[in-house]
Amino acid sequence: MEQTDLKDLDAKIYVAGHKGMVGSAIERALIKQGYTNIIKRTSKQLDLTDKLEVDHFFATYKPDYVFLAAAKVGGIMANNTYPADFLVQNINIQTNVIHASMVNKVKKLLFLGSSCIYPKLAPQPIKEEYLLTGALEATNDAYAIAKICGIKMCQAYARQYGVNYINAMPTNLYGKNDNYHLENSHVLPALIRKIHEAKHAGTPEVTVWGTGTPKREFLYADDLAEACVHLMKVYNSSEIVNIGTGEDLTIKELATTISKTLEYDGNLIFDVSKPDGTPRKLLDVSRIKNTGWEPKVELEKGVFLAYQDYLEQIDYPKIAVDSKSLCA
């Protein structure tokens, strides 16, 4: 495989999904590092599920590098309710962008997958080689299968055409531009909204899905973005790379941390009739750490920053804070 690392600050870089949490974080990271030629299109301007539109876009703009962060995403309820949408839309997006990148000689592409690609009962922490060694978590298997297809596409194109397509598998993400919908969001942003609303309504308790015992790892989106740009500079293998913190906590501990951050003193009630999902999902992050990358934002600071973002989204006054107290 030809090494085509991202070095030229004037290179044409297409960030697919730049309006989302991950894509917007990648855009911020690129701008911060001095990249000046970032190509962006909203979903209204470019439907990535439409092959003809994607082919025309790539043929017209000829990007040098592609960050494939566009995807249909959601939490347990959304994945359970719309499995066909998660499967078909994600496969279409990936197929169109990956193939158009090859046809138009993109120098390097980074495909963003998810830690849900790994078996439900994988040994912990989860190493990259555990992919396809066991059954998936049933509540989000459609999304996971779509992401596995994306990985295998990148590897197949690398093998057949010699292209430099790399695969990054982030753990659970949160941060600026997250989705705080109570039914379609992931657990951390959903808890931020639930606890905020309970606090300001004077509600004495908040209901949390499941037993509270599953353990999860959480990574701030801007840390992920820095990792992605780093990999585009130094990593040249289609073998997948986990991106995470290497640390996890229970959902109960997460809810308690959010309650403390939001200064909510009500009770947390766990609805055991609701699904827990995978019992534990901690990534082995040795591979990316060996390339020289480390996360910077600790959970408490990240939750505060995410809460500030939520307040901005609902047009609610932000909390004044001494910035020194947020140093990681």
* Residues with catalytic function: 143
Is 50 marked as binding a ligand?
Answer: no
**Does 246 belong to an annotated binding site?**
no
How far apart CA 67 and CA 159 sit, in angstroms, is: 20
Name the token pair of 273: 């009739």
Distance of CA 147 to the CA centre of its chain: 12
Is 224 known as a binding-site position?
Answer: no
For residue 131, the surrounding DSSP H or E stretch is none
17 is in an annotated binding site: yes
Q: Is 21 annotated as a binding residue?
A: yes
Is residue 68 a known part of a binding site?
no
Question: 195: left (phi > 0), else alpha (psi -120 to 50), else beta?
Answer: alpha
Residue 276, annotated as binding a ligand = yes
DSSP state string for 78-121:
HHHH-HHHHHHHHHHHHHHHHHHHHHTT-SEEEEE--GGGS-TT
Quick one: tokens of 317?
A: 């006054």
Q: Is 175 annotated as a binding residue?
A: no
Q: Which residue has the tokens 């959970």?
A: 299
Q: Residue 173 annotated as binding?
A: yes
Q: How far apart are CA 99 and CA 117, in angstroms?
A: 22
Rounded distance, CA 252 to CA 182, Å?
Answer: 18
Distance of alpha carbon 288 from the chain centroid: 16
Is 19 assigned to a binding site?
Answer: yes
Q: Is 72 annotated as a binding residue?
A: no
Q: Could you please report the per-residue DSSP string of 157-191?
A: HHHHH---EEEEEE-EEE-TT----TTTS-HHHHH
Say whether 297 sits in a helix, a strand or coil: coil
| 46 annotated as belonging to a binding site for a ligand | no
List the structure tokens of 314.
């609902």
209 annotated as a binding-site residue: yes
Would you say 272 is a known binding-site residue? Answer: no
Could you tell me which residues are annotated as the binding site for NADP(+)?
17-23, 112-115, 147, 170-173, 186
Could you tell me which residues are annotated as the binding site for substrate?
194, 209, 216, 276
Could you tell me which residues are annotated as the binding site?
17-23, 112-115, 147, 170-173, 186, 194, 209, 216, 276
